[in-house]
Each structure stands twice: as C-alpha cells, then as structure tokens.
Structure 1
Amino acid sequence: MQVLEIGSGAGDVALTLAELVGPTGQIVGVDINVDILDTARQRAADAGMQNIEFIAGDARILEFSDKFDAIVGRFVLMYMVEQRTAFAKLVTHLKPGGIIAFQEPEYTLYPAFLHPDTPLMNQLITWILDVFEHSGAHLNMGIGLYQAFVDAGLPSPTMHLESPIGAEKNWAGYRYMATIFRSLLPLLEKYGLATAEQVDVDTLASRIRQEVITSKRPFFLPLHVTAHATLPT
C-alpha cells in the first residue's frame, strides 16, 4: 500500500505505518514544520526504515503524481483553518476503494469530568481547555470528524471514542499526564495561564495519584475520536 500521512511531526505515526505496510509499501509523510521533519527522518533512518519519505509543505496545496491507497492523520485537522474544506481537498488524493482514517481529540466533553472532590483534576482540565482555545485549535474536532467525512462526499465513517482511564497506584497514566503538561508548559506560560511553579510538573504524577486514592474517582487521559471509511470503488 502507498499511504499519505498528514501532519507527520516527529514521525510516530509514519513509523507505525511503515511497519504495517511492510518493505514493499511506501509511506509519504507531510508536515509544514521543516525542522521537525529532520527528527522524523533521523528516527526512520535509525529504525532502518527505507520505505518512508518525508515532504515539507502544506498538504492542502501539495500535488502528488499518484493517488494513494490510504490517507491518515492524527491531531492535525484540529489546527487547520477551514478544516472541512482542507479535508475535502485531501480526499482528492485517494484512490477508489482507498481508506481514509483520522484521529482527533475531543475537548468539549472534558467538563463532564469536573467534580468537587477532584480540584487538581478540575484545574488540569481547565488548563487544557484554555491552552488549546488560546492556540486557536478546534476543540470539537473529534466529534466533528463525522461532518468532515460526509461533507467531503465520503461514506459515514466508523467511529470510536476512547480514553485510557485508571485508578491503580502504579498506573502509567499519571506519569503520562505529567509528560503532557511538561510539553504544554511553554504555552501555558506564553498565554499567561499558569506558571511553572503552579503546574509543578515534577510532582504532578504523584499528586494526581494521591487525589485519585483520596477521592476514589479514576483519572482519565485525553479523549480521542477515531474515524475511518473506505471510498467507493
């Protein structure tokens, strides 16, 4: 299979795709960030992957000589202006019978998890919502995938809403959330939403775990919506 990946970033999805298609397949990863693709290329080289090509550019305007068997993207439409128009453009690069699969976060459901017994979790949710709203991201892109698919003339997609959730003392989700906030911290400070001292990333995982134990309310990680469909032949 020849697969086009939109928003490759550091190459996580591309490397997974390369394993799925095998050495006879080909992955073309596109990202507008030139510098991050240097990281992606190095990772692919370190992994011995010779079936990945990374292209710097805007996938909404790039032209390709051939159509693809599949188009995929993760956490990319949420950052696009006029994302449904962009999505319709991407579909034009897909072969008849091709697969299109995207995963986007859904932030509008977060307030449902607010609870008076979990002040730390409440604060983390507020920070997440605020930082992405300030960045201009579409907070409802996960559920919005359905409209993006049907507006582009695709069949109604198969969809899944997933979020790891746990309350075990040694659950890896606590550390994972701390890692998320370590990456968000520069934006939280840039937008004046929180300081490094307020977030205190180094102790965040242990504080989340303690709140879970005290409140007896499981902790959840970001909600992801996956949608996929097959183009008619």
Structure 2
Amino acid sequence: MKKINIFFIIVLVIIGIIIFSFINRDTGEKDVVAYKPVIYLYPKEKIDLTVRLDYNGKLTSTYPKYENGWNVTAYPDGKLINHSDGREYSYLFWEGIQDVKYDMERGFVVKGEETAQFLQNILGKMGLTPKEYNEFIVYWLPKMEINNYNLINFQEKAYTDNAKLEIVPKPDSIIRVFMTYMPLDKKIEIEEPVIKSFKRNGFTVVEWGGTELNR
C-alpha cells in the first residue's frame, strides 16, 4: 500500500511540474512584433539616399528587399526609385521581432468604435499628413475597432533605441511614430501621456508602425 501511495505522489508531482511549466511558458514574456513600420522620405529636391536600419531583433519582412540598407532616389513628393530593381515605391517597409518592454503605465483609453476619430486627431496633432495617417488607420483600424476599449500609447526612446535609423545624407527633421496598444474589456482610469507636435523642416523623414501588447 505504501508503495502505491508513493507511486501516486510521484505521478502527481510530475503532473504538477508539467502544468506549471506550461502555464509559465504561456504567460511569460513574449517577443514583440513591430508591425508594418513604413518610412517616407521627402527631400527638398531629387536626391540619392542610403537608408540603414540598426535593429535589435530579427527582420522578418522587408519591401523592397533590404540588402545591408536601401539605396534609393527620392523625390520631393515622396516617390522612391529603388536602385537594386529600378522600381518605384511609395515608402520603405519592414517588420521584425524583438524582445523589448514598452511603457504602458500611461495611455489613452479609447472605445473601439471611436478608434478612427481618435487616431485622426492624435496623429494629425503629432505631425502626420492626412495621406500618412489615413494609411496608418487603414492598417490598424480593423484590428482595434473590434475591441470594447483599447489602451493606446506612443513609444519614443524604447522604440528608437531598438530600431535606429541611419540616413545618408542626413535629414533635417524626422518623426517616428510607434503605437502600442492593449485590448481592454472595460474602461480603466490611467494617466494620459503628453503628446508632442512635430514640425517639418527641410528634408523630412516620417516613419510609423505599431504593435499589440498583452496585459
């Protein structure tokens, strides 16, 4: 009888270890995907440019193909001609996975159904043009408006330190908008961040992207 009891105890311990390992794996820190960062280039005149991305993570997709950088001819209206294939592009696109912790101690709590209006207002205030923020909204709206609420923040140093841009010749002004959001079942009270406005001056570079985080 004692042998049987010991056997069952051992079995229960093993099962407990397996369950704990599974739960711990499922709720632990996960890699964060940087979804669709796109880079717009607006020089004052037609110019050849090199754009390099120093990314603290793994690039999973680029368009046009990233080959130790992008070499393009840029025009004032944002049109790009990629040197490696001779094709025209509207912007440079990349996605990647990285292990980074973003600040969600502050943010905007927005109803899912009010996402479009919120993004129009906040992105316009940040300095994006209607063309730029409309492209942002078209990508993110289907993912966000289905939630009851979203906790939304815009990252600065945590993002730019882990995805550094090197552009030659150097631009006069650059804005990098990276949105992080968490779906919420109900409204919460949280401090709202201060949003800075961006002024375009001379050769301007604009980038936007984002990711969904889990609570």
State TM-score, norm by structure 1.
0.24
Q: Return the index of the structure with the highest Cα Rg.
A: 2
**Greater RCO (Cα-Cα under 8 Å, separation 6 or more):** 2
State TM-score, norm by structure 2.
0.25
Structure with the largest fraction of strand: 2
Structure with the largest fraction of helix: 1
